[in-house]
Chain A
Amino acid sequence: MSAGTLYDKVWDQHKVADLPNGQDQLFIGLHLIHEVTSPQPFSELRERGIEVPYPERNVATVDHIVPTQSEGRERPLADESAEGMLTALERNTDESDIQFYGLDSEKQGITHVVAPELGLTQPGMTVVCGDSHTATHGAFGSIAFGIGTSQVRDVLASQCVAADKADVRRIETEGRLGPGVHSKDLILKIIAELGVDGGVGYVYEYGGEAIRDLSMEERLAVCNMSIEGGARAGYINPDETTYEFLRGREFAPEGEAFEERKAYWESIRSDSDADYDDVVHLDVSDLEPMVTWGTNPGQAVGVSDPVPAPAELPEGKREAARTAQDHTGVEPGEPMAGYDIDVAFLGTCTNGRVSDFREAAAVLEGREVHDDVRALAVPGSQTVKSKLEAEGIDEVFREAGFDWREAGCSMCLAMNDDSLEGDERCASSSNRNYVGRQGSKDGRTVLMSPAMVAAAAVAGEVTDVREMEVDA
């Protein structure tokens, strides 16, 4: 049981009722809406004559289908189906009196980048969205998880979901991350260790020294990929890093109200004697930059480690590894360092924040993208974009030879024009290396940190960024 954990406390505060099938009815403090998983629910509410009871606890933006080239963002959008989805969201949010950050807003961006940076996500909330990367928001010490479209309908209709309480697994990191090693490497390591289905039935509570050291933006990247390890949610107990991040944000409380709220945030932290259903210890002091070699995010190794031969893997993983290696064309026994790259993609809800671009820019400063590589930098939100432009970081990217774009999900899943072609190989700061994920069924994705993407862009192959001279 999970008595005394943040998960337990926040769940109990939001529990409305027991349902006849044994599930709990859970109040949702923040429902994030985007264009892909919301049109059908709004239609159904309209047909049933239901009004949204808590419109102020719902916030919408448009991210998956938006063009990232500024000239492509004129309305109507060239892609008719994309235009249809955007128009539907405009109408639906307008009719239901829900805040919408559309293409004409300077706050538009990826849902999971926008809500944290506006201070919408706060500790102790329940957060849902029709998107599996909702787990991101757990970085604030909230219970945040992705839901399906029917559940989006449920939340719009009742501000509640029917949910099962999960078990809580504490992931206790020991040691600190070395230079050039980032939170993306940490979460890829956790998934590689515990498996892509290791977290099914659990929420992950990340803690320990290495987690404590992380900035808020780095923590968001860790929680973001909880779902890639099978855990529907992951969270980090709130601390001074969390509170200082929130102070002054648009939707955060101000002045005395902030201090009062902070007392509440402190109260929901896991107790020192909390019960966990499982505890996993992970020493990260020797962790190196991680890269994937296969077609799921758990198929990852340190950049200088040999790619495993399928025969060395546990029996149940061999066939999948063989199929994956056929697809990616990696050599078992060889390290990923040296694997040729055609495309470099920087952005997404995992690594599309200001610090991600700063890390990459530090590598790119005074360097050029390799002749054989096309490189794309897509800020996670228009807010991120304008901050970086104010710092002159866009110039570093442009001068290095990156395309500097407007905010959106972009080539993470290629629902817009940004796509891999043929069997291109992509160094990507995104979260999924599934077959076909980046828009071409023969395309190959290698997941890595933003700094590693920048290094690969320059070298034209996977490269250990720690071997490059970088002015930090």
Chain B
Amino acid sequence: MPQELDQARMIAAIRHATGDVFSTMLGVEITSGEPYRQPCRPEPANGVIGLIGLTGKWTGTGSVTCTGDLARKISGQFLMSEFSSVDQEVLDAMGEITNMIIGNVKNALEEEAGPMGMSIPMVVFGHNFMAGTTHSTDWVVVPFACDGERLEVKACLSPQPDKPARRRPGCAPEG
């Protein structure tokens, strides 16, 4: 089994899934930017992050990140409402939007990676916090321009080991 999925296929899946959800569900135009790779460690962050775990023969995470302002706008489009602050409804909506985008990415990648399960979305909102996954594979990040703001959709996947290693006291951390 390869150690990484085909990056061009991941980028295409992310672009297609994000474009599909924004045009079909939100009625919002977005423009895809230049994709890049990013280490998967927790990084300083601001705004709203939606995260979903992916499990199967390949495991990893999918994520949607944007500012609080853009989260309010796209949640308003999604729920046909207006939000003056990032409240519970906005966070729920961002979780659902993440669920739809990453669900479509997963569906597109299952031909190569096999069936995958999706966890319940997790959503983080704040200023000057650290957030991320403890995955050893890089993120594949696809940025999008949306109404003058930036939205990032990213995913990381690596083969699931047959038998996950159990740490013993005193052993060095993995990776």
Q: Do A and B bind each other?
A: no
Report B's interface with A, CB cutoff 8 A: none
